[in-house]
Every structure is written in structure tokens, then in C-alpha cells.
Amino acid sequence: MSMAAEPWQQAEIPGPKKALVITKPEVVVAMLKRAKRPILVVGHEAAGIGLGEEKLIDYAIRMAKTARVPVVATAHTISEFLKRGFQPTSWMPAVDIANRLQDPEWEGLDGMGQYDLALFMGIPYYMEWVLLNALKHFSSNLKTISLDRFYQPNATWSFPNLSFKDWNESLEVIIDKLGGK
Amino acid sequence: MQMKIKELKTGIGVIKDLEISIGRVFEETWAEPVGPTPFPSLTDLREWDFQLLKRYQPLYMPFCDVCCLCTFGKCDLTAGKRGACGINMAAQQSRIVLLACCIGAATHIGHARHLVEHLIEKFGRRYPIDVGGLNIEVEAPITRLVCGIRPKTLGDLEDILDYLENQLTHLLSVTHTGQESSNIDFESKVFHAGMIDHVGLEVADIAQIAAYGFPKADPESPLVELGYGTIDSLKPVILCIGHNVVPATEIVDYLKENGLYSEVEVCGLCCTAHDVTRYNPKAKIVGPISWQLRFIRSGVPDVVVLDEQCIRTDALIEAQRIKAPVIVTSEKNCAGLQSRTRDPVDAIVSDLVSGKVPGVLILDPAKVGEVATRTAVEVAPSRKKFKAIPDIDEIIERAKGCTKCNDCRRACPQDLLIPEAISEVATGNLANLADLYEACVGCGRCENACPLGLPIHSFIVKAAEKQLKEEKFKIRAGRGAVQDVEIRNVGSPIVLGEIPGVVAFVGCANYPHGGKELAEMCSEFANRRYIVVTSGCAAMSAAMYKNEEGKTPYEIYTGAFDAGCVVNVGSCVSNSHIAGAAIKIASIFAKRSLRANYEEIADYILNRVGAVGVAWGAYSQKAASIASGCWRLGIPVVVGPHGSKYRRMLLGRKDREDDWYVYDARTGDRVYVGPAPEHLFYTAETKEEAMVMIAKLCMRPNDTMKGRAIKLTHYIDLHKRLYGTLPNDIHLFVRTVADIPITMKDEIIKILEEKQWKEGRIPDPTLLPRLIRKRKA
């Protein structure tokens, strides 16, 4: 973990309550293993961000398969998932999934109850910033994790600002260790 | 209030047939009866607002976790905490939205007040309001709807402005510490701010259309030139920036009166540019708001004239860098300059040309016309288009000092890969830097962030110089209102759903990936035979992309308000004609009473008129207030991803069936109509998402089966193309089997069976119980 835990867009000053920094990828693994009802929200940038030989969305697919986490694709990201032969649990606008996650009466995509952990990746930084803040303020039973490369202070847990190399390695560790779930 | 006393006996004597009226006196010649809410107060439409807010509940996405508006603060409002005054986060967010909308409404209403005062001084109070000759009988639909009066002269507009200013004062007072406590009541007042904002827009535009002879609802308004490359830099150039066209008209008048027009170039940025071309089609538009830095720094303008709104507050500093004198012309934007309003023109021109002063404040528009012209003519030879853009060699040399600290990228609202591009520049390759031009919003934050003080924006502009100089486009001058006869022609197909929708691309230029996406969306929906309307900076951006034949949308599509058009109504204040068109459909086509009948007309629009506003690059408080006027009127608004920073959305929940019942006005039955329209204010992450949602938001409960089939065809087709699959909510929008597009019948029937869909019916939809014509026994 090589870079600072401060907002990537410098003027987006957060707080007083800020995300705990994921200093080790095992933290994410532990959170996921502990969660009863996790969900992964993937935005359109995941299909454009290259990570080694793959795109971020490929990591999302591997993670979803390994940890058996339902996936919500935001914007038009569904098309990128389908191109890869992966069927997300659902797709809807980013504001819609945030709106549902902050609703204590929402029964989830499967009607089985609220989620207790939401992981985010691939939504434009400034948009994810405010979406996570909606959840920080209005969904007391939900914990959030940002898996993006840059520190998202309004998540419960977030990576610090990372180099591509560290980010790549962290995601690999998470997927690898989830395999033992 | 009116009071009549047939006979009153007092100790002094008997009074017979006494009649007292207190308040406004309505024009007696207007036979239409006054509706329930003339000049509505802050709470007169509260019940209607609550109906909307029950279905479209706020999602608050705080942009800041504290309140710092009073000295108790800062107060931490995180996750349920309350501040020292007792306010919670939901109320605080809606309070900030109200503040933003008050700022926006005040800006338009203040603009209208200055404009009307000036025009009355110039043309007289009795100058008639004519915005379309015989083609327009309903000259001010929003004013008629809200205020219940029918303005006939410029003087009549003053009464309307009195009302707006009164309401605005009350609305602003609501945001004081210890006033409103409920977030939902704050939201209702947000709607009120938006509604009075729309009246202010209308007052401003009908006044200037009438007095200045702008195109009067003309589908064939002139094609005017747009783009950096259209400006003749061999001539002295006067650049006007802002929104209040008065000084620019005086410049044009002075040039014409003195036979100088062919010798001096008059151009504009932002809405003043729109309006000066409506006044004089030979004037030119440089581009949207985001072209300010790049055009000033190019050195082309010889004099910069600033009026009001959306002007960079460092415009004076930037103009000084190119040695161009500045004339500020509005008491709202004095820029710290000395007032020379009463000084002789010769003295002012002399001081500006010699550089003795960098700029002046002149609050007499006629004097601005003469000073700007004479200064431009005299200063141009000595300025020699002095620019503030470095040459290539200097850029390469300075790029070598870049340490890739990333501060520029982290300051960039678009997260552009500036450090990587600068690294390439250091090797002599400027291509990557030039590639950033398209998405750059021209804010200049990168430069402020750079520890080495590199003028990064100027670097980008220089790298893309060829592209910049090739910006030569045509746009139709803002036509103003929509004709009554056009409304009669399209009213039926819109309400029945056969024209799939009216899509208005409005607002500013804070696009996530440049203006190209907006132009693409315009063409997509025009090709699909939607009615496409544009205004403001969005209208300009739409013009800046040509087809294979080298034609812009305004040359390709008709300017008549009809299926498959692209209609530029004009500047920000011309947005009133878009809302006005929706109102006129209810009034002219459906013959609903318009006068002070807000709730019924809004209910009509929400349930029947498939109109959607799209502010893809919305940035300002004005855009917020314009949007909020649409919400109260039942028109959904889509903003681009930067619009998420407006910090509050109004979202429907299609998964909650109970939210989507209406009354059938014929029977009083409550009927499920599906989530149409699904949202009232919504931020899209991508262009693709926006396009699919626009098509979906055009659906209305009143659509006929044929109309719904057409709308579903577009929704499903766009979804399949952009999402790669069928929508997962089709079953919510199919009311009867006849709604299903014939070409998709088999696959949709299959989905309906999977979803255990049940056939519904199409009611005469309303949310207002008082509109039910027949009640069940």
C-alpha cells in the first residue's frame, strides 16, 4: 500500500466521518466472509480500466463467481458483462441501487431481505463519492467497501490511493483468498 | 379580495351598493374565469407538491457532511446527528437545494427586472407584447397559469415581477436558521422557487422578443455562424459574455448607425451570444461557457464586454493578460472597476486605449455601445491580437519540468490524464494533449493546482489549435415561442403518444466527455421522430458536430416544432417556451382552463405530455431552479453524472406498486398505470443510460395503445442496442396486449408470461380527486 488515504479529487473534502483504510486486502476478504447478504455494484468504468491483461470488470466477474456475490450492473455495463458471458443478478441506474440500499424496507433483488455489505467499483469517482455518502448517512445497517483505485472517503472501508500494481495485487489476493470461503 | 355591500346603515347615513376590491385588479376583457390559485403563495400548491413528493421521494446524496451557515457551527450532521439548531441532514440538504434554487430564480428574475426597466425606459410602458403576431394568442402561458393575468404591454410585466420578488424574499427567508424544519416542506418550496423562476424566464424573454424584434416563433429563423473559426480576427473584435443582451444590442446599433458594422466583428459567449444573434443575425457565437478561457487567451478579442451570469470571475485578469480592455455593464458584476457612467466618452476611450485603466464600469448601455466600438477600433492596431497562449517550443521546454505529481489531474473535474499527456509533450509529442481538448470543460483548475505554475489549459488549447480554428458551424438563431398552430398540430399525437416524446436538451456545458455526446443524443432522438428542442449552451454544443455531408443538426432537421425537428428556442430565458409549449398543449389542444389553474395543468402534463428535460452539462444554480420549475409541472429532468453534485434526486420506485395508481377521472376508480414517468429528477452515469431513460421517461399513463407501442418500440430498441439485452421492466409498461409492438410480440409475450403479467386498462388519468367527473355510488 503505497499511496495516501486522502480524496483523489483534492477539493472533495470529506468528514468528519471518513472511510477506514484497507491496509491489507485480507480485510475485504474478512468482511465478505462475515457478511450475510453482500452485493457488488459495478459501474461502467470497470469495462474501460485496464489491469494487467484484463479489465476491472473481469476481476468483478471472478470475484462474484468466487464469493457468490450478487452483482448489480449500473448504467450500460450490463452489455459488457453479457459480452463476457456473465449474467449479473440485475442492472439498474446507480442512483436506483443507492436509493434501494438506503431503504430499510427494501427486500433485496431476491426478496430475501436487506443487504448488509455493498461493494462498489467502476462508477465515476465524483458520482460514487456522493452515492456512498447517501449510504453513509441514511443506511445505518449497511457497510460499504470501495474497491476502486482511489480513496473513497464516504465508504465504510476503502483502499487508499494506490498504484496500478498495488491495486492489481490487492484484487488478486482478495479473489484468491475468497476461494477458500 | 372583493366585498360587495348592498346596503349599509350607519349613524352617519346609508350607503348603498358599496363595492370594495383589495389587491390586484384582473383585466376585465379576459373572459376566462380565474382559477383556484392566482399569484400562489408559498403554500397554495403544497398539496400538489406533496402528491409528487410522495411518489418521487428525495434521495439525498450529501456533498458536505456539515452545516456551516451560522456561528453555532460547524455542526456535524453525519448519520442521524442533528445540528445546534436541531436540523438534520435531510432537511439541511433540501435547504441547500432551496438556496441554490433561490439563487437561480433571483438571477433570472433580477435579469428580467433590469431588462424590463430598460425596455420601458427605451420603448415605453405601453409597448405591446407581441411574441408571434397572429400565430400566437397565448403569449405568456406560464404567467397566465401561475399569476392568472394576461400581460399585454411591457408595463404589465412590472406587476408580475413585483409578485416574483415578493415570493423570492419569502423563499430565501425560509433558509434562515430556525425556520423550516421539514425536508418535504423544503422540497415543496424548492418547487415554488422553480415555478416563479419559470415566470421570470418568460417575462425576460417575451419582453426582449417584443421590444428588440427577435425572431417571433419563427421556424425559419436565420442560420447564424458559430465557432472560433468563424470569427474574423483581421477585424477589431468585440466579445460580449453573459446573459443580458442590452449592452450588446447597443453595440450593434452604434455600429450600424455609424456605418461601421462591416468593419468590426461582434461575437459572444454563452447566452448573450444567442440573444445578440437573435437581434442581429450577422453577429457570431464563439461557443458555450467553457470557451471563455480559450477564446480570451487566443488574443482575438480586442474589447471584452461583460454583462451578467456565468461569466468567469477572473475574466478581467484574463483580459489583462492579452491587453484587451474590459467594460463591465451590470451593477451585479462591477469587478471592482471604477464607474465611468457619467464621464465623457472621449475620456473613457482614451483611458482604455492607452491602458491607463484595465477596464471600466458603465451602467449606461448606449454609452457602452459607443465606448466598446471606438475602443475596439482604436486599440486593435496596437494590440495586434496579443495572445496568452505559449508557442510549441515553449510548451515542450516547460513540460520537461513536470514531476508528474498528479495535482493537475486531481484538480481536474474530468480526471483527465494530464500528467501522462505532459510527459509525452516533453518528448515532442503533443497528440495526447490535443486529445484532452474535447473533454476539457475549460475550468482552468489544473493551472491553479500545478506547483510549477504551468499554464496547462493554454497548453491543451495550443495543442488542439488546428481543431479550434476549424470550429465553423451553423446554428439557427433562437426562434422563441412555439406557435399556437404548431401546438394544435402536434397536441393530439403527443398526448396520444404517437409522437413518442418531446425532449429538451438544455443547460450548461459541464459535460462528462465533451459536447459530442449531447449532439449524438439530439440526432438520435430527432431521427426517431421525437420533437427535439434545445436552448442555451446545449443548443450550441448540438451545433458543433456535423454529419458526413458537413451539415449541423440545424441544417439537417426542421426548425418547426414537429416530429423529427431540432428547434433552438434561444437563450436560458427562452427555456420558458419549452415549459410553455407543454402548458399550451393542455390549454390549446385539450382546452383545459389555463388561468391560475396550476395544479390541474401540471396534473395534465404529468399524466399525458411525454416531455423530458435533459441538462447533460448542468452546473449552475440557474439550471437547478429551471429544473425545479419542470418538476412541479410534472416534467422529468435528466442530468449528466456531474449533476449528482446537486445532492438530491427525486426518484420513483417502480418496485412499489402502490406508488403508481391514479384515479380514472371517468369513474373514480383507482387504476394501476405503471411507473410512468418513473423519475422526476435523475442523474445518469453515461450517455447510453441517459438515452434509454429518456425514451422510458416519455411514457405517460394516457398513452393510447398505438402510442404506447411506439414508445415501447423506441425504449426496447435503444435498450437492446445500448445494453445488449431486453429491458427487465417491460411488463410494467405493457397495460394491454395491444400495447406490445407488433414486431416484438413473441419475445415480449414470453416475458409477460414469466412475470405473471395481468392485463390492465387505460384510464383517464389524474392524481386529483376533484377532477373525477363521476363518482361511484
Ordered domains of chain B (ranges, CATH): 228-383 (3.40.50.2030), 393-454 (no CATH), 473-770 (3.40.50.2030)
User: Taking the domains of chain A in order of start, what are their residue ranges?
Assistant: 20-178
Element (H, E) at B103: helix B89-123
Is B726 an interface residue toward A (CB < 8 Å)?
A: no
Task: Note the pLDDT of residue B30.
Answer: 84
Give CA separation, B603 vs B275, B535, B637, in Å: 33, 25, 16
Rounded distance between C-alpha atoms, residue B79 and residue B95, angstroms: 17
Task: Note the pLDDT of residue B336.
Answer: 98
Is the Cβ pair B645, A130 closer than 8 Å? yes
**Chain B hits for A130, Cβ within 8 Å:** 61-63, 644-645, 647
pLDDT of A17 above 80: yes
Calculate how close chain B gets to A74, using CA atoms only, in Å.
8
pLDDT of A181 above 50: no
**DSSP secondary-structure letter at B588?**
I
CB B733 within 8 A of CB B716: no
Residues forming beta bridges with residue B284, ordered by sequence position: B267
pLDDT of A2 above 60: no
Rounded distance between C-alpha atoms, residue B115 and residue B111, angstroms: 6
Q: Which CATH architecture has domain A20-178?
A: 3-Layer(aba) Sandwich (3.40)
Q: What sections of B585-641 are H helices per DSSP?
A: 598-608, 621-632
Nearest CB among B683, B685, B724 relative to A78 is that of B724
Which of B655, B658, B685 is closest to B671 using CA atoms? B658
Is A98 an interface residue toward B (CB < 8 Å)?
A: yes
All three cell numbers of B7, joined, read 346596503
pLDDT of A96 above 60: yes
Calculate how close chain A gets to B696, using CA atoms only, in Å.
13
Is B411 an interface residue toward A (CB < 8 Å)?
A: yes
Element (H, E) at B265: strand B265-269
**Chain B hits for A90, Cβ within 8 Å:** 728
Task: Note the pLDDT of residue A180.
Answer: 53
Is the Cβ pair A82, B407 closer than 8 Å? no
Q: Which residue numbers in chain B have pLDDT < 70?
A: 1-4, 18-28, 775-777
Task: Note the pLDDT of residue A15.
Answer: 85
Report the predicted TM-score, pTM, of the whole model to 2 decimal places. 0.95
Residues forming beta bridges with residue B672, ordered by sequence position: B661
Is the Cβ pair B651, A11 closer than 8 Å? no
Nearest CB among A74, A99, A133 relative to B685 is that of A74
Give CA separation, B251 vs B239, B371, B376, B734, in Å: 11, 9, 11, 57
Percentage with pLDDT > 90 across chain A:
90
Nearest CB among B89, B449, B722 relative to A76 is that of B722
